[in-house]
Amino acid sequence: MFGKIVSHKVEDNKIHLEFEKNKGILEVINPMIVNVFCPLKYNNHYSRAVENLNIEQCEILVQEKGSYIEIKTEALLIKVYEDFKVDFYNIEGKILCEDFREERAPFIRRGTISDAQDEGHNVDKQAHNHKIEVVKRLFGDEKFYGLGEKTGHLNKRGYYYEMWNTDDPTPHVESHKSLYKSIPYFITLREDSTFGIFFDNTFKTYFDMGKENSEYYYFGAEDGNLDYYFIGGNNIQEVLKGYTDLTGKTPLPQMWTLGYQQSRWSYSPEGRVKEIAKNFREKDIPCDTIHLDIDYMESFKVFTWDKERFPDEKKLLNELNEDGFKIVTIIDPGVKKEKNYDIYETGLKNGYFATDKDGITYVNRVWPGDSVFPDFSNKDTRDWWAENQKLLLNSGVSGVWNDMNEPASFNGPLPDDVQFENEGRNTDHTEIHNVYGHLMAKATFEGIKKHSGKRPFVITRAAYAGTQKYSTVWTGDNQSFWDHLRMSIPMLLNLGMSGISFCGADVGGFSFDCTPELLSRWVQVGAFTPLFRNHSGSNTRDQEPWAFDEETLNINRKYIKLRYSLLPYLYDLLWSGETTGLPVMRPLVLHYERDKEVYEINDQFLFGENILVAPILEQGKKIRTVYLPEGQWIDYWTKEVIDGGKYILKDAPLDICPVFIKKGSIVPNYPEQSYVGEKDIKELTLDVYPGQGQYVHYVDDKASYNYREGEYTLYEFIMKSDEKVAIDINIKHEEYKAYNSFKVIYNCNTIKEISFNEEKLDFLENNNKIEFIIPAISGKLVIR
Ligand code: GLC
């Protein structure tokens, strides 16, 4: 495809390579990140994911070394050979990533396809070659993480996936090659090295992570440019930071979005919505959000209300808002083809809809019947769609849920030849399909931002790399299966490893009927997932916290309340994620990558760095093994201190989800509230697990963008432990009126004396902990 290197030329950070048959560009983005590019379709990068490429002026040394060109940055050594083979080494010369030089050699598939097909089996065909293909050597100890929302396990080695946003209502199982999102990004980890690859190509892409041969792995595409980023780093966290520096960080959301959310297809008419809201308050279950699924609309026409079922939506939403409920409404892309329907007529008049190849507005069937599809690749369409959000906001809607935006239709994916404007580079559906949902979410985000001034809350089903900037995601139509509860964990963890921190799965499962035990165990996981939403499908059994029996209700209440107490900690995680790119829900490997034991842990996760969650994921199970990594851990329920670096057995009756806190942690807690903002919290509880540690707590108005102008307060806690424990409290930044006092819950009961700024304090002894109150000012707390 490329042939020999003919010449090369260095221009700033770019190395232009002239090959016999093609040209290539290597661009040093910063010492750790390098872009490999060949303009096979377009001369430039037209990325939908990388919107503000920040190219660092850095030293690079380029030398011709006979058969190859050598490029050195401060951190990497790169060798480019004929056929545009590129090998990456660290600066000490250790190979990190090597292009595979031999022909691909797929394993042999024996037997006949047709016989198996005759019996109705789905049969994998031999993999084919792609127009663009990058084949890399697979090292024996290499593991893969990321790839967005895929079924299966945490480590993707040995599996094959495709990136083609897919709405597949059949139960999600390991053989699904694709689901709703396409995030062509993965991280590799070896015993002593790690890096990431982001293949920025929106066409259908293919990722074989060593399935067809254990000597290599490859990624490929049918069309588009060869355009991938090699992202180096000293550890996985740095790689993830590099990737999110490119594609964007999950922004800090409004705090209410982190509360509990209740959904169902559908709460309608308005009486049913009121009844749901009333139940939450009466049964003392905190809840911030109720979702309205498609039936609130008139004939499924987006941006309308069914006036029979919702005669006065403004009044209804206003009443609910006053009771502390935010309303999120679903908006699908399909616009009903109907004369005199304003959205349809305006879109049609302005050419905002996708067309067929003859330029005629393309029509397919979705909920409203014959529908047309906004061309979100066109900026004018996006601006118009953004303006439409005003209609929802004016009714009192607080967030928008974007669905069916793969785009899905009742006849499967749109045909390849549907036409899109693509910012003046007219193209067809094969290029836009994977970014359609991403662009819809972007338009929605921008509209809500402009017209509410607050941090928008958008949920999308379809996504591409970078969607985290605009929207939270949920993992689509799972089922009320134990297997789906189990699978949701590696799925969400890999979404987090792919930059999407704010994500969740339908708690309780969407299709099929949930059971009391399954809901009890699912809410225990949901309490620790960033998006905490119970949602279920049409015609399934009721699944609200009270829908089963007293025991299930109590368990739901217990974990939803636990979630509300942890809100300040969760909010801190999202705030710090704006800088680090680290997700809320983390595989253990993200913090313990030198511990081989954690590479394949699918059924435990970290909630931030210091809380380890090991839920029960099987029916009937009341005990499980838990792996605790190095250090000491405190059982959240019993306060027992346990040495890590080993497996333990933990009893877990139905109301217990095993949770462990790392020694040296300070976890901020809120008092009980029915919804975010119910109370003006002037006293923050600090749940302290004595040891060495550091914690930063962040406070702002929980909703606006004023924090970006400095309106926030930052508390830093540095805890040191020898014969006494000393906590230095420093207010690092103070431009938001936060707390008057801290209530300290100190998890140890062998205390003789406590002083704050050298003044002795009274304390209360309570089981295996003590409690006392200090003013929320800078100072030194000493506990002996
Ligand atoms: C899709 C969504 C689901 C929603 C339903 C009706 O199946 O994934 O969440 O409830 O459509 O809108």
Q: Would you list the domain boundaries of the chain?
A: 5-247, 585-662, 682-783
Q: Among 167, 264, 293, which residue has the most ligand 1 atoms within 8 Å of its CB, making it the best to mutate?
A: 293
Quote the mean pLDDT of the chain: 97
pLDDT at 766: 84
Whether 194 has a pLDDT exceeding 90, the answer reads yes
User: 524 pLDDT band (50/70/90 cuts)?
Assistant: very high
Beta-sheet pairing, 741-746 with 754-756: unpaired
DSSP alpha helix (H) spans, 566-612: 567-580
The pLDDT of residue 120: 87
Q: Determine contact, residues 88/34, Cβ cutoff 8 Å.
A: yes
Q: Which of 187, 183, 185 is nearest to 239 (CA)?
A: 187
Fill in the amino acid letter for 124. Answer: D
Any ligand 1 atom below 6 A from CB of 603: no
Q: Is the pLDDT of residue 127 over 80?
A: no
Q: Any idea what DSSP says for residue 297? A: S
pLDDT in tens, 699-741: 999 999 999 999 999 999 999 999 999 999 999 999 999 999 9
**pLDDT beyond 80 at 326:** yes
Give 507's DSSP letter. Answer: B
| Residue 651 main-chain phi, psi, to 5 deg | -70, 140
Instruction: Say what percent of the chain tops pLDDT 70.
Output: 100
pLDDT tens digits along 624-661:
999 999 999 999 999 999 999 999 999 999 999 999 99
Does residue 168 carry a catalytic annotation?
no
375 touches 420 (CB < 8 A): yes
Report the relative pairing of strands 463-464 and 185-189 from DSSP bridges.
Answer: unpaired
> Omega of the bond prior to 266 within 30 degrees of 0, cis?
yes
CA distance 107 to 47: 35
pLDDT in tens, 1-25: 899 999 999 999 999 999 999 999 9
Residue 283: is its pLDDT beyond 80?
A: yes
Q: Is 476 in the pocket of ligand 1 (CB under 6 A)?
A: yes
Residue range 495-502: average pLDDT? 98
Cα–ligand 1 centroid distance for 573 (angstroms): 29
Write out 515-546 in H/E/C secondary structure.
Answer: CHHHHHHHHHHHCCCCCCEECCCCCCCCCCCC
- Active-site residue, from 99, 245, 375, 406: 406
Question: 403 C-alpha vs ligand 1 centroid, how far in Å?
Answer: 7
Q: What mean pLDDT is predicted for residues 63-71?
A: 97
Whether 292 is in the pocket of ligand 1, judged by its Cβ within 6 Å, is: no
Confidence (pLDDT) at 122: 83
> Can you give 167-229 as a three-state secondary structure string?
CCCCCCCCCCCCCCEECCEEEEECCCCEEEEEECCCCCEEEECCCCCCCEEEEEECCCCEEEE
Q: Is 366 in the pocket of ligand 1 (CB under 6 A)?
A: no
477 is catalytic: yes
* CA 550–ligand 1 middle distance (angstroms): 29
Predicted pLDDT at 1: 87
Distance 512 CA to ligand 1 centre (A): 13
Domain 5-247 CATH superfamily: glycosyl hydrolase (family 31) (2.60.40.1760)
Q: How far, in Å, CA of 98 to CA of 396, rounded?
A: 55
Question: For residue 117, what pLDDT band results from cuts at 50, 70 and 90?
Answer: confident
Domain 682-783 in the same topology as domain 5-247: yes
Rounded to the nearest angstrom, the distance between the alpha carbon of 158 and the centre of ligand 1 is 32
Tell me how far the alpha carbon of residue 374 lies from the centroid of ligand 1, in angstroms.
Answer: 19
Specify which residues 759 forms β-bridges with: 756
CATH H-level superfamily of 585-662 = Golgi alpha-mannosidase II (2.60.40.1180)
Known active-site residue 603: no
By most ligand atoms within 8 Å of CB, the mutation choice from 170, 510, 512, 535 for ligand 1 is: 510
CATH class of 682-783: mainly beta
Report the pLDDT averaged over residues 266-288: 98
Check whether 126 has a pLDDT greater than 80.
no
**Average of per-residue pLDDT across 597-603:** 98
Question: pLDDT tens, 214-235?
Answer: 999 999 999 999 999 999 999 9
CA distance linking residue 611 with residue 585, whole number of Å: 10
- pLDDT, position 121: 87
Q: What is the pTM of this model?
A: 0.98
Report whether residue 334 contacts ligand 1, using a CB cutoff of 6 Å. no
110-124, 487-501, 503-517, 625-639: which has the minimum mean pLDDT? 110-124
Decide: 477 in ligand 1 pocket, CB within 6 A. Answer: yes
- Predicted confidence band at 458 (pLDDT cuts at 50, 70, 90)? very high
The whole-angstrom separation of Cα 429 and Cα 408 is 12
Task: Please work out whether the CB of residue 461 comes within 6 Å of at least one atom of ligand 1.
Answer: yes
Q: Please state the three-class secondary structure of 384-422 as a single string.
A: HHHHHHHHHHHHCCCEEEECCCCCCCECECCCCCCEECH
Lowest mean pLDDT among 126-140, 309-323, 526-540: 126-140
pLDDT band at 428 (very low <50, low <70, confident <90, very high): very high
Which H or E run contains 279? helix 270-282
Q: Which atom of ligand 1 is nearest to the CA of 263?
A: 10
Tell me the mean pLDDT in the region 684-702: 98
Q: Does ligand 1 lie within 6 Å of residue 403's CB atom? A: yes
d(CA 777, CA 505): 40
Q: Using alpha carbons only, what angle is made at residue 277 by residues 274 and 281, rounded to the nearest 5 degrees?
A: 135
Question: Read out DSSP for 707-724?
Answer: GGGT--EEEEEEEEESSS
Helix (H) or strand (E) holding 281: helix 270-282
Q: Where does 99-168 show beta strands of DSSP type E?
A: 132-137, 143-146, 160-163
Q: Is 390 exposed, middle or buried (0-12, 13-18, 19+ CB in 10 A)?
A: middle
pLDDT at residue number 231: 98
Our answer on whether the CB atom of 332 is closer than 6 Å to any ligand 1 atom is: no
Of 223, 421, 477, 593, the active-site residue reads 477
